[in-house]
Structure 1
Amino acid sequence: MRFAAVLNQEGGTLRTIDLSAFTDRMRQTLEAAGHSIDIDIVAGKDIVATLDRIASKHSVDIVLAGGGDGTISAAAARLMGRKKALAILPAGTMNLFARGLGIPQTLDAAVKSLADGEVIAVDMATANNKPFVHQFSIGMHARMVQLRQTMEFGSRLGKMRASVKAAWAAINNPSTM
Structure 2
Amino acid sequence: MTHPDYSLETEAHARGARFVAGVDEVGRGPLAGPVMAAAVILDPNNIPEGLNDSKKLTAKRRALLYDQILDCADVGFGEASVEEIDTHNILRASHIAMARAIADLSNRADHVMIDGHLIPRDLDISAESVIKGDAKSVSISAASIVAKIRRDRFMESLAQQFPGYGWERNMGYPTKEHRSALQTLGITPHHRRSFKLIHNI
TM-score with structure 1 length normalisation? Answer: 0.30
TM-score with structure 2 length normalisation? Answer: 0.28
